Amino acid sequence: MPPLAGVAQTGALPAGPSLTGPVPKHVAIIMDGNGRWAASRGLPRAAGHKAGAEAVTRCLRAARANGVDYLTLYAFSSENWRREPSEVADLTGLLRFYLRHKVAELHREKVKIRFVGEVGRFGQDLCAEMARAEALTEGNSGLTLLLALSYGGRSDIVHAARALAQAVQCGDLAPDAITEDMLARYLLTAGVPDPDVIVRTSGEHRLSNFLLWQSAYAELVFLETLWPDFDEDCFTRVLNIYGRRERRFGARPA
């Protein structure tokens, strides 16, 4: 497996998979590197996406085992619609397969499923599958899994701003009464705490329009590991990187 790399200035990674620090309440992951994983093996991109879906299963297992309350996975960005139609078809086909064959298993494990993004773009059939998954798992008390599908951070903020503007226009809200907390209640992630840590695999060092408002004080961890190679050990090492960070939220150190 390729080596993990936290941000260079964090120093050497803790050795081994043992958890050594506090566990974040909410972990968000930009799953990147499926195409490169496949290309390095002479395989079609579809094989990389399939291997990436298997990594999701390992990630979920690790999140539950370590007591994480919320896990958000950037599964399909609003920009991904620009990819080749064949690749979009492969991705939506995988989504359909997992909705039909994996949701019951997640329900048995008490996972609550929630979708965030412009999911209507996937069509009526897939939207109905997503609605069924959310309804089935709504009452579950275990890990909350948020799948960001056709999601864009900027459009999320625009959506919230439009809702607030409508409330002002209708006379239900005074402009000077708008606060950060109020805007957050109109985001697609309303009711979910902001992520404590955002992870990106494959060596890229950017957020790519993911949870832009919500990531204001998130710790950022960038890994060289390609997403299909992500496993339980990687997850624990991410938690250990997080546990070594000092979170001050803008305050001066003591």
The tokens for 141 are 């008390």
Task: Determine if residue 227 is labeled as part of a ligand binding site.
Answer: no
208: annotated binding-site residue?
yes
Q: Is 141 annotated as a binding residue?
A: no
Q: How many CB atoms lie within 10 A of CB 229?
A: 19
77 is in an annotated binding site: yes
Q: Which amino acid is at 28?
A: A
**Cα–Cα distance between 223 and 46 in angstroms, integer?**
22
The answer to whether the annotation marks 188 as part of a ligand binding site is no
240 is known to lie in a ligand binding site = no
> Catalytic: 209?
no
Tell me, yes or no, if 80 is annotated catalytic: yes
Q: Is 101 helix (H, G, I), strand (E, B) or coil?
A: helix
> Is 66 annotated as contributing to ligand binding?
no
Amino acid found at 101: H
- 49 annotated binding-site participant: yes
Which of 32, 156, 196, 229 is catalytic? The answer is 32
**Other CB atoms within 10 A of residue 57 CB:** 13
Among the listed residues 66, 80, 140, 209, the single catalytic one is 80
- The pair of three-digit structure tokens given for residue 203, joined into one six-digit string: 């060596």
Report, in this order, helix, strand and coil percent for the chain, each rounded to 5: 45, 15, 40
Binding residues, as ranges, are 32-37, 45, 49, 77-79, 81, 83, 200, 206-208, 219
The residues carrying an active-site annotation are: 32, 80
Binding residues for Mg(2+), as ranges, are 32, 219
Binding residues for substrate, as ranges, are 33-37, 45, 49, 77-79, 81, 83, 200, 206-208
